[in-house]
Structure 1
Amino acid sequence: MSLQRIRARHAALTTAIALALTANCSMAQDAPPTPEKASQLDTVVVTGTRATGRTVSESLAPIDVLGPRDLQATGTTELATALARALPSLNFPRPSLTDGTDGSRPAQLRGLSPDQVLVLVNGKRRHTGAIVNLNGTQGRGSSPVDLNAIPIEAVDHIEVLRDGAAAQYGSDAIAGVINIVLKGGATGGSVNGTLGKYSAGDGIQRDGGGDIGFALGKDGWIRVAGDAGHDDPTNRAGPDLRNPADPSYGRVNQRFGDPDVKHQSAFVNAQYNLAPTVTLYAFGNASNRNADAAGFWRPGLDSRNIRSIYPDGFLPIIATTSKDRSLVAGIRGQTAGWNWDFSGNYGQNQLQFDVDNSLNTTIGPTSPTHFYAGTLQNTEKLVNLDVSKDFDVSWLHSPLTFAWGGEYRHENYEIDAGDPTSYAGTGAQVFPGFRPSDSGSNSRHSYAAYAELDAEVTEKLSASAAARYEKYSDFGNTVAGKLSARYAFTDKVALRATASNGFRAPSLAQQFYSTTSTVFINSVPYEVRTFPVTSPVAQSFGAQKLKAEKSTNYSLGLVVQPTDATSVTVDAYQIRIGDRIVLSENLTGTAVAAFLAAQGYPGVNGGRYFTNAVDTRTRGVDIVGSWRPNVSVGTLDLNLGYNYNKTDILNIAPNPPQLSQNGLTLQRIGRVEQGRITKGSPRDKLTLGGNYRLSDWGFRADLSRYGQFTVLSTVPANDQTFSAKWVLDLAADYNVDNWTFTLGADNIFDKYPDKVLAANSTSGILPYSSSSPFGFNGAFVYGKVAYRWK
């Protein structure tokens, strides 16, 4: 699509196409620096290959490289949000009323589950979060990495491999790999401050951060980065018009939007040269995030309220405290031509649940209003060895890179019970605490070995082959393989292709998590309990032991670079996933509630559990282009990104007979969950960006089109397809000496998603869908001041 057509379609876009915010680009620990170019095809990458010196254009699989300007120019201080705005293949909705997920939101790559993408930091596996996303969100049932625990200030650049890579990196790399490369070096630094507010008058965001490097004698350095901030909540709820007799009738009682969040994070990256060919290195982080997310309003006359405590009703708050810790330390070097890297890796995410402004009706008028509801904790420990060497082979155009290695991994998932008052009887309203029967510590370990060959076979043909064997203590072993090739017809045109199989081990959280949550079904709140597959209650509903997901990935891509200032890549892909792990439908009904009450769960209306019941196929195409045209004054960079993505369900396992016995007529995987998998994320996404710099001034514009998505209901008449939306972000900056002053506006035309059907809005209280790919907060205006030194 040409810029002229965009201007014709959007006459309001009269502002000059702009330039990204400037940012210092320090030396990264494990890769060369990534200069900001019109084309990133000449940037050297380390993700998806163990050969040295390979560039993006030479890569055998599609890779996106996002530098500091790309990340900081998005106007956000959240890493996941920055990635979603910069990458058309990544979806990051902003759900609300989803318990702990409000504060730890999941991101999807290529429309797949958030835990089907592997996250690395400096090439080392990042631990996943403790939260399980349960209530009506995209990625329902997943426990992904918390990307927002990593401050943008610590990031040198990010490499996103859009291809299956389980044969190279192991479990989780079905949709692709996100490798976050940290800033390094002893020199340079920055400090910055950001202040912003939504046009509706709420959601004030205050954030400050920076980074600095120090020398460790003559042979080493340490770099420290961090940020801290406070984001006020937003609210787009409608008035409560359900019961004219209620004392709270007609007021906006509900809070529906972003939670109130306070966050602090720090990252340290260091290395020291013991000898010319031997280097010690270490990096780690500590992050805390406190999020207060609103539950659903309990009216004054509601049976879940005690009027002597809350005469007009109450809005319960789920207060989560997320603590993220990690440390990687290792030694790498070269001996007799062999490159080796030995490291240890520790990561932990702890999520504590407290419930404020609530009560327990079982206790009665003496009920406390604050409850400690329990804590989740996920811990991962790894020991890893990587070895490689280049061999001269006479009939090959380049040396043959032979890489091999091994890994030991130990995982532990713990649930700590809440205070007795939080789970007694019906439990604390909005989030009954974890019971002693829920609590416990579960562990597993795995061993892995891999090998990889990579070479330029001829001047035009490059190829690689990889294989990986893994054995898990809880479900057995698996083997993954990958073949990749690239053929250059000319210096300007190349074709690339990959074929691989992969896997994703069921997480410990998916096997052992259990709790009760408030879930909306056709706008009616239900108390639904998640049961572990080992539970007799879950097995009475047909639950079985979980197996690993198995995938096959195919991709075919075209790389075109007609001039030094122009590049286009087009990559088509297909991903088939067998035994996909999903969360069952919410199994509800009078008979279910009676059965659960008899099992010791009074007030619980339904149950659910994890299952390998679905096989899916995802097909799509990614298009990425950049162009630096000659302009008479200043410099202009233009870029385009497009993703089309479609997931189909190929097979659903037969419904367990238990769900049809004793008068039940339940479906394990019904139309709601089928719709979430196949239609819940945008079918396509288009991004158009421009950066213009003139002397000390810079301007940037980013136009995004989010394609339609559909939310299915248990009642077909309530299905709704949400139309595509265009969102425009603008920013301008001025540089003087080492200072940069930026003024910007995201979603400048104050676009909102379509309002939900009246039948799905809970009497108009919840007017928007939590699946909206750009949220539902409206326009956001911000200012930023940054100071950088070399």
Structure 2
Amino acid sequence: MHVRISRSVLLGFASAATLLACPLAAQAQSAPQDDTTQIEEVVVTGTRTVGRTRLDSVAPVDVISGEVLTRQGAGTELAAALAATAPAINFPRPAISDGSDHVRPATLRGLAPDQTLVLINGQRGHVGALVNVNGALGRGSTAFDLNTIPAITLGNVEVLRDGASAQYGADAIAGVINLRLRQASSGGGLTAVYGTYDTEYDTARGKHERRDGEQTSLSGWIGLPLFGDGFLTLSGEIQEREPTNRSDYAAPGSVSNGSSTTVIGRYGDPKTTSQSAWFNAGKPLANGWEGYAFGGYQHRDSESAATARAFNNANNVVSIYPNGFLPMIGAAIDDYNLFGGLKGEAGGIDWDFSVGWGRNELEYKTFNSLNASYGAASQTSFDSGGLGYDQLTVSVDGVKQIDANLYEPLNLAFGVEYRRETFEVSAGEPTSYNKGPLNAGAGAQGFPGFQPSNVVDEDRSNVSAYIDLEGKFSENITIGAAARYEDYSDFGDTLTGKLSARWDTSEHFAVRGAISTGFKAPALQQQFFSYVATNLVTTVVGGVPVTSLVNAGSFRVNDPVAIALGSRPLEPERSTNFSGGFILRNGGFELTVDAYRIDIEDRIIYSETLGLTRPSQSAATTNATLALLAPFGVTGARFFLNGVDTTTNGVDIVTRYRTEQDFGQFTFTGAANFNATEIVGLPEIPSTVAVPTSPGYLFDRANQLSFSDGTPKRKFVGSVDWSLGDFSATARATYYGDVLVANNTSTLDYQVGDATLIDLEGRYTFPFGVTAAVGVNNLTDEYPNFTPATINGGTGSVGFPSFSPYGFNGRFLFGRLSYSF
């Protein structure tokens, strides 16, 4: 059942929020008016007019300081810290999902991870090489890896919660996250963190106690003068994270000694070590010009587990693993960023000339495994190939103030950009995918390597131009308009636009709204990724078992196998965004309420594996599909395609109140996100493909429901920060609404369950500049509902749902030492 949020409900909710705010606003009139209550962060995201503050902007923008981000537990995951502070962002914890374990995607407003554009210092960041092709949230997407940038590197993060393709280009359907690097010419700091999980939990087969997932990190930054009047800010982090394990007990029949209390799987966070280094520099030049450069590098080694293989698994070789084995997937990730440019005034225009380059590489290794088709002669460790993606951008931007006889000069921004992208797949060693001499499963168990047929090296380019106008037509009315044209070398051109307005009825109250169109270009990864595994399948023909090798997996959209099933060249997703809301502020109190509707057409999805038996498909459908695949020696195929249309309705509410009393300074914050997505159109197979199908043929029930019910429809965050002298503390409660874990068979569905997590942290600053902090996340040790034993199978590998919006690790204890100079 879909939850609908009608326009009347949105307006009613906004009105109720205003009435509830009135008593608080009345109290705020007596609040102090000094710097402790003035909240005037200047923003650069969502506007190109200099000097706009967060509360003066035409579109809703959250500003999260770097200091707040480093106070989220061990502080080793930027995406987790953002999800803890911004209710519209969710960051689930997939496990046993191959590459998605190592590069976890975040979502904004319940949309796909790649429908949010990420900027670094206002410049387009590059997405990762990985495309998420497993059953985790964000299946089929390829997105920016937020965890490649440590929180210590950031001055603040601006989250624009509004469609912005006309302003910033492709992918900004849900909004924009702008990572603004720390900028300083003096000072510095060091931070050391230690944390661990200490938890008790129930799974389908019994109780568990765990103390695992130790996390340590050492990070620091320093500001230096650059040739006198410039600045150079250096920052870096070294971190280690041990794995967590929330697998269930294996069934006795899957354990060599018949034990009912043995865990043979590993389900949780991967083991991770990483090293990151970043810089941000600027230097004034002659005639008011300035040169700037920034960039960084991260190397990350990550190890996760595949599904456990019991001792009696058909693909186990008992002479190698007498008790079964747990295949491990290693990922070596290298991420590069380098930007530079010049900015200054010429001819009455403020110019910005910039060049940016970024690259992401992921190399797979499969170990503690075997290729069963080689029997006892099999190796146990394999190089499984890798992925690579890079992006080059060259842009010219200009801003000019035009006197148009308005209340203030009209701000005209314009620019052009050239972008080139490359995507590569490299093959693994032959034994990682080959079929050996024995009739057993081929390829490395857990993650067979990429084959030579999967290897690609593709690129594309695009040129874009935009114009952005914003101005105050009177003292109280601000209007903005933007348009952007983009021309891609692989699928053609597109035009997007945006209109926005704001009316300040008084110094305390304003209303704002916008309408825009947007698009997301099909990623190179979605067009050219393929991954085919060779499996040993036994069928009965005329009463006689026949064993044969078959190929099944992902095929490129231009592959003859995909074309035979109706594949066509991918087209961009297109969206129409509507938003409207209000701002209420008085002294130290503020409240913003913004309602939105996002209609998206032709969303790019990852199809079902066509040819396999599914409850929604008749035997005639399966047989007709297999007949189409038979000439290619394939028994199952999936590919990327357009075709799902969705409507997302929601409301964002953010409130804050600051006050200073005799017993300390307090900052109260509250935020909520109400969000519901409904599928209004499903893809259809072309009439030229002679296969009788049902509506779920290309995109079945489980994947449909992951769009509409895979993220919480309600999320609330409430916190209070207190400080008095050298003491300070933070308390936060986060409520997550229920999420459905769907299956193609409805009887196998189950709910994650709603939960409220409580986080506490206390701090003390010593006279010599060291601040010590201790805290706990998830104080009451909350867990989602465990995976039912009927779904989990004999190995018990999957203890909890990966769709849980807050993960499944339990209580986390941490301590932190920081020194500022």
Q: Would you call these one fold, judging by a TM-score over 0.5?
A: yes
- C-alpha spacing 1:248/1:509, structure 2 compared with 1 (3 Å): farther
Whether 2:419 is the aligned partner of 1:409: answer yes
Query: Aligned to 1:699, what secondary structure does the other structure show?
Result: strand
Query: Aligned to 2:669, what secondary structure does the other structure show?
Result: strand
- C-alpha spacing 1:173/1:665, structure 2 compared with 1 (3 Å): closer
2:347 and 2:688 mapped to 1: Cα distance?
Answer: 63
1:661 and 1:337 mapped to 2: Cα distance?
Answer: 64
Equivalent AA in structure 2 for residue 536 of structure 1: P
Q: In the TM superposition, what whole-angstrom CA distance separates every residue of 1:10-60 from its partner, at most 9, and x where no partner exists?
A: xxxxxxxxxxxxxxxxxxxxxxxxx996564x2110011111111111110
- C-alpha spacing 1:86/1:517, structure 2 compared with 1 (3 Å): farther
Determine which of 756, 759, 766 is the counterpart of 1:736.
766
Determine which of 724, 746, 750 is the counterpart of 2:777.
746
Contact kept? 1:36, 1:69, Cα under 8 Å: no
Equivalent AA in structure 2 for residue 736 of structure 1: F
Contact kept? 2:682, 2:695, Cα under 8 Å: no
1:663 and 1:446 mapped to 2: Cα distance?
Answer: 37
Shift of 1:530: 1.6
Paired position in structure 2 for 1:758: 789
Equivalent AA in structure 1 for residue 220 of structure 2: G
- C-alpha spacing 1:660/1:785, structure 2 compared with 1 (3 Å): farther
Paired position in structure 1 for 2:594: 571
Q: In the TM superposition, what whole-angstrom CA distance separates every residue of 1:516-573 from its partner, at most 9, and x where no partner exists?
A: 4899xxxxxx996121111111222222211000000010010000x21100000000
2:551 and 2:369 mapped to 1: Cα distance?
Answer: 15
Q: How does 1:377-416 map to 2 (within 5 A)?
A: 377-394=388-405, 396-416=406-426
Shift of 1:440: 1.5
Shift of 1:607: 2.7
Shift of 1:218: 1.4
Query: Aligned to 1:771, what secondary structure does the other structure show?
Result: coil
Determine which of 44, 52, 55 is the counterpart of 2:53.
55
Paired position in structure 2 for 1:549: 573
Query: Aligned to 1:669, what secondary structure does the other structure show?
Result: coil
Determine which of 37, 43, 46 is the counterpart of 2:41.
43
Q: In the TM superposition, what whole-angstrom CA distance separates every residue of 1:495-524 from its partner, at most 9, and x where no partner exists?
A: 0000000111000000011114899xxxxx
Query: Aligned to 2:452, what secondary structure does the other structure show?
Result: coil
Paired position in structure 1 for 2:172: 173
Query: Aligned to 2:237, what secondary structure does the other structure show?
Result: strand
Q: How does 1:211-290 map to 2 (within 5 A)?
A: 211-241=221-251, 243=253, 246-247=256-257, 250=260, 251-290=262-301
Question: Which moves more between the two structures, 181-190 or 569-578?
Answer: 181-190
Determine which of 734, 756, 779 is the counterpart of 2:811.
779
Paired position in structure 2 for 1:18: none
Shift of 1:146: 0.6
1:678 and 1:363 mapped to 2: Cα distance?
Answer: 44
Query: Aligned to 2:407, what secondary structure does the other structure show?
Result: coil
Contact kept? 1:544, 1:611, Cα under 8 Å: yes
1:66 and 1:245 mapped to 2: Cα distance?
Answer: 49
Question: Which moves more between the two structures, 764-773 or 483-492?
Answer: 764-773
2:568 and 2:248 mapped to 1: Cα distance?
Answer: 42
Q: How does 1:188-207 map to 2 (within 5 A)?
A: 188-199=187-198, 200-207=210-217
Q: In the TM superposition, what whole-angstrom CA distance separates every residue of 1:283-327 from its partner, at most 9, and x where no partner exists?
A: 011001111010011112211111122111110001001100010
Q: How does 1:455-534 map to 2 (within 5 A)?
A: 455-516=471-532, 529-534=553-558
Contact kept? 1:248, 1:312, Cα under 8 Å: no
Determine which of 562, 580, 592 is the counterpart of 1:538.
562
Paired position in structure 2 for 1:583: 606
Contact kept? 2:393, 2:419, Cα under 8 Å: yes
Question: Which moves more between the two structures, 332-341 or 167-176?
Answer: 332-341
Query: Aligned to 1:298, what secondary structure does the other structure show?
Result: coil
- C-alpha spacing 1:565/1:244, structure 2 compared with 1 (3 Å): closer
Q: How does 1:328-367 map to 2 (within 5 A)?
A: 328-367=339-378
- C-alpha spacing 1:204/1:36, structure 2 compared with 1 (3 Å): farther
Equivalent AA in structure 1 for residue 118 of structure 2: V
- C-alpha spacing 1:434/1:652, structure 2 compared with 1 (3 Å): same
Q: In the TM superposition, what whole-angstrom CA distance separates every residue of 1:348-401 from its partner, at most 9, and x where no partner exists?
A: 00000110111112222211111111110001001011001111222x101111
Contact kept? 1:413, 1:442, Cα under 8 Å: yes
Shift of 1:119: 0.4
Whether 2:632 is the aligned partner of 1:633: answer no
Question: Which moves more between the two structures, 756-765 or 426-435?
Answer: 756-765
What is the percent sequence identity of the aligned residues? Answer: 41
1:517 and 1:123 mapped to 2: Cα distance?
Answer: 41
Contact kept? 1:499, 1:553, Cα under 8 Å: yes
- C-alpha spacing 1:182/1:386, structure 2 compared with 1 (3 Å): same
Paired position in structure 1 for 2:470: 454
Q: In the TM superposition, what whole-angstrom CA distance separates every residue of 1:693-737 from its partner, at most 9, and x where no partner exists?
A: 121111110100001111211111112222210000000000013
Gaps of 5+ in 2: 1-33, 199-209, 436-441, 536-549, 614-621
Equivalent AA in structure 1 for residue 62 of structure 2: D
Paired position in structure 2 for 1:770: 802
What root-mean-square deviation, in Å, do the aligned CA atoms of Structure 1 and Structure 2 show? 2.1
1:447 and 1:237 mapped to 2: Cα distance?
Answer: 49
1:486 and 1:665 mapped to 2: Cα distance?
Answer: 43
1:379 and 1:746 mapped to 2: Cα distance?
Answer: 37
Shift of 1:663: 10
2:259 and 2:582 mapped to 1: Cα distance?
Answer: 60
Paired position in structure 2 for 1:78: 77
2:803 and 2:785 mapped to 1: Cα distance?
Answer: 11
Whether 2:102 is the aligned partner of 1:103: answer yes
Paired position in structure 2 for 1:64: 62
Paired position in structure 2 for 1:295: 306
Shift of 1:759: 2.6
Shift of 1:335: 1.5
Shift of 1:439: 0.2
- C-alpha spacing 1:658/1:758, structure 2 compared with 1 (3 Å): farther
Question: Which moves more between the two structures, 608-617 or 360-369?
Answer: 360-369
Q: In the TM superposition, what whole-angstrom CA distance separates every residue of 1:622-678 from its partner, at most 9, and x where no partner exists?
A: 000001245331111100000000000111122456886399997101111100111
Contact kept? 2:729, 2:763, Cα under 8 Å: yes
Equivalent AA in structure 2 for residue 293 of structure 1: S
Contact kept? 2:463, 2:487, Cα under 8 Å: yes
- C-alpha spacing 1:665/1:146, structure 2 compared with 1 (3 Å): closer
Contact kept? 2:58, 2:501, Cα under 8 Å: yes
Shift of 1:231: 0.3
2:670 and 2:217 mapped to 1: Cα distance?
Answer: 30
1:327 and 1:125 mapped to 2: Cα distance?
Answer: 11
Paired position in structure 1 for 2:114: 115
- C-alpha spacing 1:665/1:447, structure 2 compared with 1 (3 Å): closer
Contact kept? 2:76, 2:239, Cα under 8 Å: no
- C-alpha spacing 1:242/1:541, structure 2 compared with 1 (3 Å): farther
1:46 and 1:663 mapped to 2: Cα distance?
Answer: 50
Paired position in structure 2 for 1:646: 676
Contact kept? 1:119, 1:179, Cα under 8 Å: yes
1:663 and 1:548 mapped to 2: Cα distance?
Answer: 25
Contact kept? 1:266, 1:286, Cα under 8 Å: yes
- C-alpha spacing 1:441/1:492, structure 2 compared with 1 (3 Å): same
Whether 2:716 is the aligned partner of 1:717: answer no
2:296 and 2:426 mapped to 1: Cα distance?
Answer: 24
Shift of 1:110: 0.1
Equivalent AA in structure 2 for residue 573 of structure 1: Y
Q: In the TM superposition, what whole-angstrom CA distance separates every residue of 1:98-156 from its partner, at most 9, and x where no partner exists?
A: 00111110000000000000000100000000011121111111110011000111100
Q: In the TM superposition, what whole-angstrom CA distance separates every residue of 1:197-243 from its partner, at most 9, and x where no partner exists?
A: 00021000011100012112213221110101110000011121162
